């Protein structure tokens, strides 16, 4: 899933944000947080915006991270002013409740036709969901990103078809291997019985034939073994395919 991979979340959010602007380099971005996802957003935004600001409750962490990606760091008490000055906001905080309320975003949007794109990349959500209904606010959460950037279901894909075919082939091989393994004990018993049967029948034939030299006796024994093996072959195949359970013809 997209939400389990921080790098994918960050790049997907920036890609969706970029699609909402004629050119992203004219937009002002704000990133909240200083963890792996926030750093991924900064990396994806690097040199692609008109300016990127980073806010975190730990100023020293924010300053170091912002410097690494040519962003500026801001204090938490400057958040409202930074929201009002931004075009796109990425929230990657780790609070247990929304840190960005609908009221705060309504004030940041300020009416007048201004549009603010907000990406809530937090688990649990750190942007109040009701903000989605505010005029001028475009709110995206992880479910939206999953739908927009991973639209696999319902679409034909040659790569997916190839992957399915490969998977089905490997499953077939695995099934065959498992059936053969399950059949191994029964096959071993069948071969033991066949060898014993060939030996018994050869002894009967040799007794009836009378005096034969050693070479002639060997020919008789080899013929008995070959006959038994030829009879045994289809039975062995049936046992392997049935996973160890031989199919006995009706009436036998």
Residue 188, classified by CB atoms within 10 Å of its CB into exposed (0-12), middle (13-18) or buried (19+), is: exposed
Q: pTM for the complete prediction?
A: 0.60
The CATH number given to whatever domain includes residue 78 is: 3.40.50.720
Please report whether residue 252 resides in a domain: no
* Cα–Cα–Cα angle for 135, 137, 142, rounded to 5 degrees: 140
| Residue that terminates a domain, selected from 95, 126, 149 | 149
Chosen domain end from 129, 149, 169: 149
Per-residue pLDDT of the chain (252 residues; tens, 9 = 90+): 444 444 678 999 999 999 888 788 999 999 999 999 999 999 999 999 999 999 999 999 999 999 999 999 999 999 999 999 999 999 999 999 999 999 999 999 887 678 999 999 999 999 999 999 999 999 999 999 988 876 544 444 455 566 677 778 887 877 777 776 777 777 787 788 888 888 888 888 888 888 888 888 898 888 888 888 888 777 777 766 665 544 444 444
Residue span of the structural domain in which 83 resides: 2-149
Residues 166 and 127 in one domain: no
Of 106, 130, 149, the residue that ends a domain is 149
Rounded CA-CA distance 6/55 in Å is 19
Judge contact between 62 and 85, C-beta under 8 A: no
Q: Specify if 251 maps to a domain.
A: no
Reduce the DSSP state of residue 127 to 3 states and report it.
Answer: strand
**Encoding tokens for residue 56?**
């975190």
Residues 141 and 169 in one domain: no
Does 107 share its domain with 168? Answer: no
**In the structure encoding, which two tokens stand for residue 129, read together?**
């969901």
Please state the domain count of the chain: 2
């Amino acid at each position: 899933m997209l939400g389990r991979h921080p790098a994918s979340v960050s790049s997907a959010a920036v890609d969706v944000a970029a699609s909402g602007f004629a050119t992203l380099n004219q937009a002002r971005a704000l990133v909240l947080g200083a963890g792996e996802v926030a750093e991924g957003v900064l990396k994806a935004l690097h040199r692609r915006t008109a300016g990127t600001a980073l806010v975190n409750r730990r100023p020293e962490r924010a300053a170091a991270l912002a410097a690494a990606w040519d962003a500026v760091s801001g204090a938490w008490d400057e958040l409202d002013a930074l929201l009002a000055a931004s075009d796109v906001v990425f929230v990657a905080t780790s609070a247990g409740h929304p840190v960005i309320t609908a009221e705060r975003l309504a004030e940041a949007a300020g009416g007048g036709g201004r549009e603010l794109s907000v990406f809530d990349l937090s688990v649990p959500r750190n942007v109040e969901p009701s903000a989605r209904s505010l005029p001028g606010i475009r709110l995206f959460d992880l479910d939206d990103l999953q739908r927009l950037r991973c639209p696999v279901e319902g679409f034909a894909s040659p790569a997916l078809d190839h992957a399915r075919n490969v998977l089905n082939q490997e499953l077939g091989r695995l099934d065959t291997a498992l059936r053969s393994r399950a059949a191994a004990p029964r096959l071993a018993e069948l071969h033991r019985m066949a060898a014993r049967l060939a030996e018994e029948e050869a002894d009967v034939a040799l007794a009836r034939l009378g005096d034969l030299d050693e070479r002639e006796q060997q020919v008789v024994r080899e013929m008995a073994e070959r006959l038994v093996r030829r009879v045994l072959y289809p039975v062995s195949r049936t046992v392997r395919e049935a996973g160890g359970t031989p199919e006995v013809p009706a009436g036998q």
